[in-house]
Structure 1
Amino acid sequence: RLKALEIAPDHVHVLVEHGSQVAIHQIVKAMKGRSSRLLRQEFPHLCKLPSLWTRAYFYDTTGKVSTARIMAYINDPHHI
């Protein structure tokens, strides 16, 4: 479940709630794959590129900070 999303010129912040049976790398792969397909459909010149995304990603759990605080950070336009 997508809880928050912020797109910056050079990175993306996403807050996702998911069950323990789904691995984080599966979520990242699905998001990158779907977004790449949709972007290439809308902007055909992107089909010339071998890849739109790198394989890299960073994740952390919300155990140390409340979900509300993370959502506030993602939704704050001043941290870009």
Structure 2
Amino acid sequence: MEKRWKSSKNSVYSLGYHIIWCPKYRRKVLTEEIQKRLKELLLLKAKSLGIEIQTMETMTDHVHLFIKAKPVDAPHFIVGQLKGYTSRYLRKEFPKLRSRLPTLWTRSYYIESVGRISEKNIKKYIENQKNV
């Protein structure tokens, strides 16, 4: 059974993020072979960053990740590292990506924090603190 929280010297945390990004112009360039290599690269980079990829799925025109990270890792930094690393290696290993696109990934991405406690319950808990 997975432990719900992790801890460091100064904190107890459970930070999860759902991240989505697309190739430039949302082109359907992520073939099965490229998707396989992309997943390998994502796992390698995640390990070096100290983050956990809980779930991952790739389609021809976008990538979905659910990751767990430490509080000191900014989400923007994580996304930049994953996109930059995979772009560099995929464009080197699959030259057709260089000829079809000026860059592999768009500059934008979607990210949402994910937790086990709903926003509604957190607000209710905070509002009721004086009554305890």
Q: Which has the higher strand share?
A: 2
Structure 2 residue 67 is matched with structure 1 residue 12: no
Q: Percent identity?
A: 42
The amino acid that maps onto 1:36 is S
- Correspondence for 1:36 among 66, 83, 87: 87
Aligned pair count? 65
State the structure with more CA Rg.
2
Structure 2 residue 81 is matched with structure 1 residue 24: no
Gapped regions of structure 2 (runs ≥ 5): 1-51, 118-132
Deviations 1:19-46 (A, max 9, x none): 1111101011011111101111211233
Gapped regions of structure 1 (runs ≥ 5): 66-80
Query: 1:60 matched to which residue of 2?
Result: 112
User: TM-score, normalised to structure 2's length?
Assistant: 0.45
Deviations 1:41-70 (A, max 9, x none): 2112333432111111111111257xxxxx
The amino acid that maps onto 2:94 is F
The amino acid that maps onto 2:114 is T
Taking the aligned partners of 1:12 and 1:46, their CA distance within structure 2 comes to 16
- Correspondence for 1:45 among 87, 93, 96: 96
Taking the aligned partners of 1:24 and 1:37, their CA distance within structure 2 comes to 20
Report runs of 4+ in structure 1 exceeding 3 Å deviation. Answer: none
Q: CA RMSD in A?
A: 1.6
